[in-house]
Amino acid sequence: MLIKVPALHEPPASEITPRRVYLNRRTALAGLGLAAASPLVLSQAAPGGGKLPKLPGTHSAVPGAMVMDKITSYADATSYNNFYEFGTDKSDPAANAHTLKPRPWTVSIEGECAKPGRYDLDALLKLAPMEERVYRLRCVEGWSMVIPWVGYSLSEIIKKVEPTSKAKYVEFTSLADKAQMPGVRSGVLYWPYVEGLRIDEAMHPLALMAFGMYGEVLPNQNGAPLRLVLPWKYGFKSAKSIVKIRFVEKEPMSSWTKAAQQEYGFYSNVNPNVAHPRWSQATERRIGEDGLFAKKRPTLMFNGYEAQVGQLYAGMDLKRYY
């Protein structure tokens, strides 16, 4: 007898139809373009189209990497995004990101490391085994989702390029191409989008370099073809569509800190006790789950990853280093 054990990301059969109905047409078209550009990935794609190429991963063994929360619907996770390179409304990325070309793609690795260079996406895809990880995602704006990502620990890349003793921080730069990203023409932020981590944060096994979600390659609006996912920090720390990784001695100035220092600090760890100047961070609304009139749920320290990442910040005044 054949028993099909569904992967964690697979919705129950009852939910499959709505997801297809909801699937954004442009995402599908972008996926076809991506698949056409990559015969290797195409061979893994399910027949019928309307979906992005598959990117399977084995369930991660990293502690804390598989939360049991109910997974957010694919429709919500791909239609409600902050990705200012495609516009400031949360519906803009889904509407505009079809112009992003996630292949061919190279990532330039620079700075204080023994093996700098330009790394092709295909090489990065093969650098370490793909894992599926179900993370909570907490946006600084007070909403949250639960996403099954596919990727491997950022530390795999870092170990490969051998950072020197001067590498105290890692800086991540996102693509800023006016031709592919209409939002870059606006002066909302200083482009390109820059984010940073302390090297020990970057080496933490939960810091994920993601290439996919929901068992498929990343949709453009979610940061294709590769992005960071730092589940214990507010979402904006997880840079999308990364083109450069640089090892540096001094703390990098991230784009949001540059734009509003008093609102967005370098660390930006999820912390219910430190309010954003314009709203409280004590509670959050889980997208697609909490009803319109439901009370928001309490936000957890380090987004519930305190057991795993708390020691990174031992002795630090988290009100000062927000």
Give least dist CB 3 to other proteins, A. Answer: 34
Give least dist CB 288 to other proteins, A. Answer: 6
Give least dist CB 215 to other proteins, A. Answer: 20
Q: Could you give the angle at the alpha carbon of 226 between the alpha carbons of 222 and 229, nearest 5°?
A: 70
Which letter, b or e, does each residue of 138-160 get, where b requires 16 or more Cβ atoms within 10 Å of its Cβ?
A: bbbbbbbbbbbbbbbbbbebbeb
User: CA–CA distance from 31 to each of 3, 19, 76, 252, 311 (Å)?
Assistant: 31, 16, 18, 34, 40
Between CA 198 and CA 247 the distance in angstroms is: 10
Give least dist CB 14 to other proteins, A. Answer: 17
Q: Which is nearer to other proteins, 72 or 220 (CB)?
A: 72
Which letter, b or e, does each residue of 265-286 get, where b requires 16 or more Cβ atoms within 10 Å of its Cβ?
A: bbbbbbbbebebeeeebeebbb
Give least dist CB 259 to other proteins, A. Answer: 5
Q: Which is nearer to other proteins, 168 or 285 (CB)?
A: 285
Q: Could you give the angle at the alpha carbon of 15 between the alpha carbons of 10 and 19, nearest 5°?
A: 85
Give least dist CB 29 to other proteins, A. Answer: 21
Site of interaction with other proteins (CB under 8 A) = 75-76, 79-80, 88, 90-91, 143, 186-189, 259-260, 263, 275-280, 285, 287-288, 292-293, 295-296
Q: Which is nearer to other proteins, 90 or 160 (CB)?
A: 90
Between CA 241 and CA 244 the distance in angstroms is: 9
Give least dist CB 285 to other proteins, A. Answer: 7
Q: Which is nearer to other proteins, 287 or 301 (CB)?
A: 287
Q: Which is nearer to other proteins, 273 or 280 (CB)?
A: 280
Count of Cβ atoms closer than 10 Å to residue 165 Cβ: 7
Give me the torsion for CA of 38, 44, 46, 50, rounded to 10°. Answer: -20
Q: Which is nearer to other proteins, 38 or 73 (CB)?
A: 73
Q: Which is nearer to other proteins, 155 or 254 (CB)?
A: 254
